[in-house]
Amino acid sequence: MSEYFHSVTLNTELCHGCITCVKRCPTEAIRVRNGKAQIIEGRCIDCGECIRVCPHHAKYAITDPLSSIKEFKFKVVLPPPSLFGQYKRQEDLELIRAGLLKLGFDAVYEVAAAAELVSSATRQLLNGDRLKKPVISSACPAVLRLIRIRFPNLIDNILPLSPPMEVAAMLARRRAVRETGLSPEDIGIAFLTPCPAKVTSIRNPIGIKKSEVDLAISVSEIYPALLSAMNECAEEGLGPDTAQSGRTGMSWGNSGGEAAATLTTGYLAADGIENVINVLEEMEDDRLSDQVFVELNACPAGCVGGVLNIENPYVAVTRMKHLQAYRPVSCNSISEAGIPPDMKWDAKVEPIDTLRLDPSPTESIRMMGELEEIESRLYGLDCGSCGAPSCRALAEDIVRGYSTEDACIYLLKDKVESVRDSLLSLTINKRDKGEVHKHES
Amino acid sequence: MTVNSLHYHYDVPGDDFTRAGVASGAVKQILKQLGLNPETVRKMSIALYEAEINMVIHGGGGVIDIDIDDDKIVALVSDQGPGIEDLDLAMQEGWSTASEQERNLGFGAGMGLPNMKKYSDELEINSEVGVGTSVKITVNIEKSGEQRD
Ligand SMILES: Nc1ncnc2c1ncn2[C@@H]1O[C@H](COP(=O)(O)OP(=O)(O)OP(=O)(O)O)[C@@H](O)[C@H]1O
Ligand code: SF4
Ligand SMILES: [Mg+2]
């Protein structure tokens, strides 16, 4: 657990110690201690909410710089579907490809193309009777980690397929090896990431043993350079249409696209982390058993709402829809013979026990009793001044030994006042007995 | 604290569909924090949710009392509503007296009581017409071997 890599990181110098992120973190993973925010690593799901809301831009995502592609002999870039909503020009699809090549990549492999393969494999799996319903999409790594931490009962409902990014990376590397004759290590696969969660999932894959992606470059970093490259390409003129995917793949960039592509009647799609949590609560209590497929995206509007994207997600979705209108329904599918084994999960997904108070239920119950007692002494204002998101969270921190009741400024004020009062009454008593001598200046 | 047990009390207003499920949601959170076996948590959450909803829809609201100790969770859900006329009938799958409006809201499949039976380890229902209904749900806590003292 201690070796777990998180993309979401704090720039301590920029942090003012305000409690904006503390209040907004969906897993209560942040505390302000000694005037600076701290992330409780075991609880963070890298959803990027704290990056989104920090007024001082003190939270950022660790990604790889564009220059790091130089380490590889042959460089393949994987643009995600949401990238196509980031730029204004309508002929984007072709321009973006040309622009990426101009930036120094040797080949482009659309993640949307792999998404169509995953959709096709999902349909095959849903037609069979093997999967526990409703099936939960495996595409959003923040959601998967949330499930491992907060909804372990639902791990078995997750679609046991690699997400499009991984399938794209695997196929892109294979193609590059075939076409260049280079060895697999000489091929660099760079994913243009819209969010920190994908970066984290490359270092700590879920459901697969090892990620096929070598680099994760932030869309926000590449955005201006790509824009200039695209402008140059537009002047030079474009070649023929080489797009690799259709509407199905491209619609994975917005909430509902993957679910609709299952072609089942009972599906739902929820986006935004609070909505996702509500759906998971319902699912956990068996209240969505009439659904076949559930698509969940931590970001509002889907991947297009990723915190590393530039464009307003709703504007981007409109653009993507417009681009899709000119595309065929789908350009990729797997054979009827069955799902290629390398698209399937090959590692077990385990629950993560970071919420429980203690491994022993007996001890947990004792600690919970103490927690309730402490909470009843706190003021219940959830003001956050102590650095915890709520009074209950402070009570939990105290029980776990990470904080003390003195962290509560209201309790402290009571203490100070009672000390003052007793000093005062002491003074009055002494004065009554004539023991106090006035010192006049 | 010498006695190793927890007690929680919730007042549940009647006929407020928007708040129905709040108490059982809070209990689920507590059970998860206790680190109980996920299946145990699931059983209690489902059974308690159904009892809470019934109390809101059919019973006019009431109170929930939860007792947790080392080996079991007991939820007592009681209202002073109309009571259940024929309990054997009410326990049957698909039997419901829910109104048209309630059915439109997604309730009234007649699965609440059967689900409570299915997910609880012990279910005790006392109901008297004109007096009220109380439902006692017990779910045992599975011992994972580890024990202190
Ligand atoms: N607390 C209660 N007070 C009065 N009547 C009740 C109460 N709980 C259940 N009943 C009666 O028992 C019937 C069956 O309950 P049950 O929970 O099984 O189904 P339902 O509530 O009608 O539908 P569902 O739970 O599937 O939404 C109810 O329709 C109602 O007539
Ligand atoms: S990335 Fe999400 S889970 Fe992690 S600390 Fe920030 S808000 Fe919390
Ligand atoms: Mg019911």
Give the CATH number for residue A362: 1.10.15.40
pLDDT of residue A427: 78
Interval A259-284 mean pLDDT: 95
Judge if A389 and A339 occupy the same domain.
Answer: no
Q: Mutation test of ligand 2: which of A9, A20, A30 has the most ligand atoms closer than 8 Å to its C-beta?
A: A30
Q: Which two tokens stand for residue A255?
A: 């909430």
Mean pLDDT, chain A, rounded, equals 93
Contact A254, A320 (CB under 8 A): yes
Asked, for residue A398, whether it belongs to a domain, the answer is: yes
For residue A344, give how far its alpha carbon lies from the nearest alpha carbon of chain B (Å). 26
Question: Are A148 and A30 found together in one domain?
Answer: no
Judge whether B39 lies within some domain.
yes
Q: Give a yes or no: residue A244 inside a domain.
A: yes
Average pLDDT over residues A363-375: 96
pLDDT of residue A441: 44
CA distance B92 to chain A (A): 19
Cα of B47 vs centre of ligand 1, distance in Å, is 13
Strand partners, B79: B62, B133
* CATH code of residue A42: 3.30.70.20
> Is the predicted pLDDT of residue A79 greater than 70, yes or no?
yes
A54 shares its domain with A74:
no
pLDDT beyond 60 at A438: no
According to the model, what pLDDT value does residue B147 have? Answer: 41
Range of the domain at B14: 5-140
Q: Is A349 a domain residue? A: no
Residue A1 counted as domain residue = no
User: Are A315 and A416 in a shared domain?
Assistant: no
The pLDDT value recorded for residue A238 is 84
Last residue of some domain: A26, A43, A61? Answer: A61
Q: What confidence category does residue A435 fall into, taking pLDDT thresholds of 50, 70 and 90?
A: low
Model confidence at B105, in pLDDT bands (50, 70, 90)? confident
Q: Mind giving me the DSSP string for chain B?
A: --S-EEEEEEEEETT-TTTTTHHHHHHHHHHHHTT--HHHHHHHHHHHHHHHHHHHHTS-EEEEEEEEESSEEEEEEEE-SS--S-HHHHTSTT-----HHHHHTT--SS-HHHHHHHH-SEEEEEEETTTEEEEEEEEEPPP-S----
Q: Which residue type is seen at A27? A: T
Q: Which domain holds residue A424?
A: 357-441
Chain B nearest CA to A144, separation (Å): 17
Q: Hey, CA dihedral for A405, A407, A410, A416, is it positive or negative?
A: positive
Q: Which helix (H) or strand (E) holds A395?
A: helix A391-399
In a domain, B63, yes or no: yes
Better pLDDT: B4 or A25: A25
**Residue A302: is its pLDDT beyond 90?**
yes
Q: How confident is the model at residue A90 (pLDDT cuts 50, 70, 90)?
A: low
Q: Chain B partners of A396 at a C-beta cutoff of 8 Å?
A: 33
Q: What is the whole-number distance in angstroms between the Cα of residue B96 and the centre of ligand 1?
A: 6
Q: Do A359 and B36 touch (CB under 8 A)?
A: no
Q: In this structure, which residue's CA is closest to atom 2 in ligand 2?
A: A47
Q: Say if residue A332 is in the same domain as residue A395.
A: no
Residues A111 and A193 in one domain: yes
| Count: domains in chain A | 3
Q: Is residue B146 situated within a structural domain?
A: no
Does residue B94 sit within a domain?
Answer: yes
Whether residues A221 and A278 share a domain: the answer is yes
**Whether pLDDT at A2 is above 50:** no
Give me the pLDDT at residue A4, please.
87
More confident residue, A415 or A144: A144
Q: Is the CB of B126 under 6 A from ligand 1?
A: no
CB B121 within 8 A of CB B69: no
DSSP code at position A60: E
Q: Is residue A350 part of a domain?
A: no
Q: In ligand 2, which atom is closest to the CA atom of A43?
A: 3
Ligand nearest to the CA of B109: 1
SS3 label, residue A151: coil
- Is the same domain home to A119 and A243? yes
Indicate if A138 and A250 belong to the same structural domain. Answer: yes
Would an 8 Å CB–CB cutoff place A282 in contact with chain B? no
Q: What is the CATH number of the domain that holds B113?
A: 3.30.565.10
Q: Which long-range contacts (CB under 8 A, 24 or more apart) does A183-187 make?
A: A186/A72, A186/A73, A186/A74, A187/A72, A187/A73, A187/A74, A187/A75, A187/A76
How many domains does chain B fold into? Answer: 1
- The complex's ipTM? 0.87
Question: Whole-model pTM?
Answer: 0.92
Whether residues A317 and A221 share a domain: the answer is yes
Q: Is B148 contained in some domain? A: no
Integer Cα distance of B15 and A263 in angstroms: 38
Nearest chain A Cα to B42, which residue? Answer: A285
Q: A156 and chain B: CB distance < 8 Å anywhere?
A: no
Residues A265 and A403 in one domain: no
Q: Please report whether residue A352 resides in a domain.
A: no
In this complex, is the C-beta atom of A290 within 8 Å of any C-beta atom belonging to chain B?
A: no
Mark whether A245 and A322 lie in a shared domain.
yes
Residue A1 pLDDT level (bands cut at 50, 70, 90): very low
Which residue lies with its CA nearest to atom 1 of ligand 2?
Answer: A46
**Is B149 a member of any domain?**
no
| Average pLDDT estimate for A14-40 | 96
- Place B20 in a pLDDT band, splitting at 50, 70 and 90: confident
Residue bearing the bigger pLDDT, B148 or A134: A134
Question: Does A47 sit in the ligand 2 pocket, CB within 6 Å?
Answer: yes
Ligand 1 lined by B17 (C-beta under 6 Å) = no
Rounded distance between C-alpha atoms, residue A423 and residue A324, angstroms:
76
